[in-house]
Amino acid sequence: MAEDRPEADPVTAPLLAEIERLQTELMQAKWTIAEREARADIDPLLDILNRRGFDRELARAVAYVGRYGTQAALVFIDLDGFKAVNDRHGHAAGDELLKTVARQLTARVRASDVVARFGGDEFAVLLWNLDQAQANAKARELEEAIAAVLVSEGRFGASAGVVPLTGKETPAAIVDAADKAMYVRKRERRGS
């Protein structure tokens, strides 16, 4: 059914044209806002989730695990030796290294898993449907993949802490526990 419009006369024609122009402009603005809101959760350098996006996914995961009793784990990864790359070769080289690490991580997890840059040289990986032993094995695999990245400094790698989700803890408590587990792993890897 055609929309009823008043007859265009010399007075209303310019007003109708202006309304149409404003409606088009409003639609474009809404599309731009929606696009920017979607990108607000993405790390602009690495094209993976940022901390904000990851926090949202972790909260969903905690709720899901609590409700359905599924298994999930958080792997918290800190790069070892990254500062030396930035210091010796500059931030552009550091950025390229971060991109390589992000590719290594995303290539080694399933599409249902979540990879995010938590901040700086820290990454978080949310693994679904793995028990503690499987999550620990996956964390070691991710450490090995990162250690295989060639850098001229010679000592580059990652330490990964693993915490299972039970659905009873808060997202902040999970991140804190995973961060502590990562530091335990870092000490293990250094042999201290």
Residues with active-site annotation? 121
User: In 10 A of CB 140, how many CB atoms?
Assistant: 13
Contacts of 162 (CB under 8 A, 6+ apart): 73, 74, 75, 76, 132, 135, 136, 139, 178, 181
Closest C-alpha to 125, from 68, 182, 184:
182
**C-alpha to C-alpha distance for 104 and 114, rounded to whole angstroms:** 13
Closest C-alpha to 101, from 127, 123, 76, 119:
123
